[in-house]
């Protein structure tokens, strides 16, 4: 793969300016088969921020991430990466600008962990930054806490270990736009926090991170902005403290919730309403065509 990508020397993209748009969806519509999954999405991911995509199952979060990655075509509207329509980039050029973590990681051959992480450096073959391969791989493995099993075959790892190795591959790629689909789903408490801290570090270094999350607490604690998806549309987007609101989340998730400030940090905590009080709040979960 490295030889294939390195056949033609490519220009290394410049580091993005702070707050510059690295991924944009403009009136984006995406169809999967006969179903319109995204219906008019407008969203921008900017350098230096963590943008979390949240919402119930089937809301369109992974589809939006796939479209931003140029892995899913737009039925109408447009997706831009680094200011250019995705159709204007070749696959090798895209690989220098965005890295993608899918929901699940699988390999057909029992590659050692270190080799899997090294695959993230393939896009840089034939560029001056190929000289950074060894340092990038070692740094990504250390950050994801997978160095201890570098020689083990990927197929012998647990689900959580595989998820961390897949993340290390994305980190090693060092593209300025990270697109992560449910990176915490298979992880324990410690490593969920680790992944989101790494997202914050990458944003602090000037990258843009778009991450699909089901845990609203993680989104509130680590994201600069959240986009709440529902029915293929964005119900609301903005800082978590502004958009995480009882009534809206209750309607979107069709589950009564309370949003409370953390007693020490003030970060919003989203708590399901339990203990038989659901019967007293049917109006909070009614369907609303505007959401």
216 and 236 in a common domain: yes
Domain count, the chain: 2
Indicate if the pLDDT at residue 9 is higher than 70: no
pLDDT tens-digit readout, 123-134: 999 999 999 999
Say yes or no: 184 and 285 in one domain.
no
Q: Are residues 234 and 270 in the same domain?
A: no
CATH number at residue 88: 3.40.50.300
The answer on 87 and 71 residing in a single domain is yes
pLDDT at position 284: 43
Q: Do 54 and 196 share a structural domain?
A: yes
For 266-273, what is the mean pLDDT?
A: 96
Is the model more confident about 288 or about 207?
207
224 and 282 fall within a common domain: no
Q: Based on the domain organization, do 102 and 152 belong to the same domain?
A: yes
pLDDT, tens digit, for every residue of 152-174? 999 999 999 999 999 999 999 99
**Does residue 67 share a domain with residue 128?**
yes
What tens digit of pLDDT does each residue of 27-66 get?
Answer: 999 999 999 999 999 999 999 999 999 999 999 999 999 9
199/263 same-domain check: no
Same structural domain for residues 228 and 251? no
Same domain, yes or no: 157 and 218: yes
Task: Please check the confidence at residue 8 and state whether its pLDDT lies above 60.
Answer: no
Q: Is the pLDDT of residue 278 over 60?
A: no
* Entry pTM: 0.91
Question: What DSSP line would sit under the chain, residue for residue?
Answer: -HHHHTSS--PPPPPPPTT-EEEEEEEEEEEETTEEEEEEEEEEEETT-EEEEE-STTSSHHHHHHHHTTSS--SEEEEEETTEEGGGS-HHHHHHHEEEE-S----SS--BHHHHHHGGGGGGTTSGGGGGHHHHHHHHHHHTT-GGGTTSBGGGS-HHHHHHHHHHHHHHH--SEEEEESTTTT--HHHHHHHHHHHHHHHHTT-EEEEE-S-HHHHHHH-SEEEEEETTEEEEEE-HHHH--HHHHHHHHTS-EEEEE-TTT--EEEEE--SSGGGG-GGGG---TT-
Name the residue range of residue 284's domain.
Answer: 245-291
226 and 271 housed in the same domain: no
């Amino acid at each position: 793969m490295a030889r294939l990508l390195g056949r033609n020397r490519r220009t290394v993209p410049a580091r993005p300016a702070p707050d510059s748009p690295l991924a944009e969806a403009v009136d984006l519509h995406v169809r999967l088969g006969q179903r319109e999954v995204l219906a008019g999405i407008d969203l921008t991911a900017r350098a230096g921020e963590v943008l979390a995509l949240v919402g119930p199952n089937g809301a369109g979060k992974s589809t939006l991430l796939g479209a931003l990655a140029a892995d899913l075509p737009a039925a109408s509207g447009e997706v831009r990466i680094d200011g250019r329509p995705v159709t204007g980039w070749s696959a090798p050029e895209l690989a220098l600008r965005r890295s993608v973590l899918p929901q699940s990681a699988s390999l057909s051959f029992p590659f050692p962990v270190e080799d899997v992480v090294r695959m993230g450096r393939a896009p840089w073959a034939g560029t001056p930054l190929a000289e950074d391969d060894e340092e990038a791989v070692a740094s990504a493995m250390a950050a994801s806490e997978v160095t201890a099993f570098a020689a083990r075959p990927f197929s012998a790892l647990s689900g959580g270990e595989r998820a961390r190795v897949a993340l290390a591959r994305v980190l090693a790629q060092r593209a300025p736009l990270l697109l992560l689909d449910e990176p915490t789903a298979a992880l324990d408490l410690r490593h969920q926090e680790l992944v989101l801290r790494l997202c914050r570090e990458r944003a602090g270094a000037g990258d843009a991170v778009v991450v699909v999350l089901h845990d609203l607490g993680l989104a509130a604690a680590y994201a600069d902005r959240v986009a709440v998806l529902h029915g293929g549309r964005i119900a609301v987007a903005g800082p978590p403290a502004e958009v995480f609101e009882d009534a809206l989340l209750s309607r979107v998730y069709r589950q009564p919730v309370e949003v409370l400030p953390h007693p020490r940090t003030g970060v919003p905590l989203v708590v399901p309403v339990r203990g038989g009080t659901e019967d007293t709040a049917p109006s909070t979960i009614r369907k609303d065509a505007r959401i």
